[in-house]
Amino acid sequence: MENGMENGMENGMENGMENGMENVTSMSRPRGARVLIVGAGIGGLTAGIALRRLGARVDIVERAPAFAPLGAGLTLQPNATAVLGALGVELRPEDVHPIGHVAMIGRDGRPLIEGEPDDEDIPHPSINIRRPDLHRALIEALGAPGVRLGRALRSLTPGPDGVDVEFEDGARGRWDLVIGADGVHSTVRACALGDAACATRYAGQTCWRFTAPAPEHVPVTTIERWSPGRRVGVVPLSRGGVYVYVVESAPAGTPGPGSADPSALRERFQGLDARLDALLRLLERDPDARVHHGDLVDQPHLSYGRGRVLLLGDAAHAMTPNMGQGAAMAIEDAAALALSWRETSPSELATRLRELRRARVAVVHKQSWRIGQVAHWRGPLRCWLRDALLRSVPARSLERGMRATWAPGIELAERLRDVMPPRADARPAA
C-alpha cells in the first residue's frame, strides 16, 4: 500500500491507553464505551467505521508494520456491498469490476453451471476488486485517528470492569470491550477461549493466487474450472487486471514455498487451462509479480467470544473461500454489532452477536466447505454423476439460492441505514 496512506494511519491510540496504562472506569452505557479492535483486516476496519459512527471511542491496532497487499483479489456480493454502502464506504468506480457472467466449467470444457447474478432489481452491486483497493476505501472511511500499525496483542485479562491488555512491545492498557478481528489464527480467541478452541480444520487443499495487469487476457466471463483434485479460477478486474486462483488437493504443508514461483507454478499446472498457462507466462516476465500461497483451512468451532471479549470475522468463524463469502460475513458481523451497540452493554455484546449471527454464518460456513470438497472429487463415475446433476439444476433455483444467501445481509444494511447518523455527525463522543 502507498506510503502516504501508511503515514496517515500511523496515529497513536487515543482512548484506552495513554502513556502506558490508564485506569478506565467501566461504562454502563455502551455509547461512551472504550473499544479496542485487534486486527485491521476487512472485519476490524468495518467494525471500527460502524462503531465510530455511533459515537464509540475506538482504537485499532494491527500487528503488521505496514499495510502490505493482503492476498490478491476478492469478490463482494450484494450482502457485503449493501453494508459497505450503508456505512458510507466509497469504492472508487475505477477500482471495481462487475462480477458479470460466471461459469463453472467441467473437465471437458463445458459449463456445469452458468449465469449472471440476478441482481438487477437490487441496488447493491456484485463486484470483483483488488484487496488493496478495498482496504484503502475502508481506511479512508475510518478517518482519524487511524490504525496503530506494528502493535500486536500478546495477552488479555478480562475483569468485571474492563479488559486489561498487554502488547508484544510491552505497552498495556484497559478497555471496556476488546474485539478480536485478528483473523483465523486469532490471539484474542486463544486468550479468551483457550488453545483447544483454536484448532483449525485443513480442507485438504492448498491455494495459490495472484493478480496481474493483463488487458489482453481479461475474460468476459468469470470462470472456475474443475478437474479431479484441482481447480482454477480466472476473474476479471478493473483497469485491465485479472485475478487468478489455483487450488490443488495436497497433504497439509505441501508443497513448499518455492511452488509460488510463477515458472514452477506453470510447470505444475501445465495443461490444466490455456488461460492459466498464458497468464503465468506473463507473470514470469513481471519482476514485481507476487503469488500468494496458503493451505485452505476453516475454523469449525464457531464462537463470538465471551463477556467483554468479542470475536468477529475469521477470528470467529473462518470459512473456506468456496462461496466467496468470508469477508462478507465479517462485514455483516460488523453491521450486526453496530445494530446491537446502543441497547447492549459491553459485557453482553458477545452473547448478543452469537444470538444474531451464529445460525446465519453456520449455513454459509457449511455450504462453503461442502462445495470445496465436491469440487475436488476424483473418480470418473462420481465426477460424471456430479456434473450431470449440476447441469440439471434449473437456472431459477440457482438464482433463488443466491438471493437467499444475500437477503440477510441486505436486510441488516437497511436497518443500519436507519440508525447511522449522517456522516457529518460521525465524531467520537467526548
Ligand X SMILES: Cc1cc2nc3c(=O)[nH]c(=O)nc-3n(C[C@H](O)[C@H](O)[C@H](O)COP(=O)(O)OP(=O)(O)OC[C@H]3O[C@@H](n4cnc5c(N)ncnc54)[C@H](O)[C@@H]3O)c2cc1C
Binding positions for ligand X, rule: CB under 6 A: 38-44, 61-64, 70, 74-75, 152-153, 181-183, 187, 207, 209, 245, 313-315, 321, 324-328, 330
Minimum separation from the CB atom of position 45 to ligand X (A): 7
| Nearer Cβ to ligand X (273/298) | 298
| Nearer Cβ to ligand X (27/296) | 296
CB proximity list for 404: less than 8 A, separation 6 or greater: none
Q: For residue 68, what is the DSSP state?
A: -
What are phi and psi for residue 211, nearest 5 degrees? -115, 155
Residue 362 in contact with residue 370, Cβ under 8 Å?
no
Beta bridge partners of 326: none
Minimum separation from the CB atom of position 365 to ligand X (A): 11
| Nearer Cβ to ligand X (117/387) | 117
The DSSP-derived string for 355-380 is HHHHHHHHHHHHHHHHHHHHHT--SH
Minimum separation from the CB atom of position 28 to ligand X (A): 28
Q: How many helices (H) and strands (E) does the chain have?
A: 12, 19
| Nearer Cβ to ligand X (241/313) | 313
Minimum separation from the CB atom of position 56 to ligand X (A): 18
Minimum separation from the CB atom of position 164 to ligand X (A): 15
CA angle 428–350–298, rounded 5-degree value = 110
Q: At what angle do helices 395-419 and 78-86 cross, to 10 degrees?
A: 10
Minimum separation from the CB atom of position 7 to ligand X (A): 18
| Nearer Cβ to ligand X (243/341) | 243
Residue 167 in contact with residue 36, Cβ under 8 Å?
no
| Nearer Cβ to ligand X (315/420) | 315
CA angle 403–405–409, rounded 5-degree value = 100
Residue 188 in contact with residue 182, Cβ under 8 Å?
yes
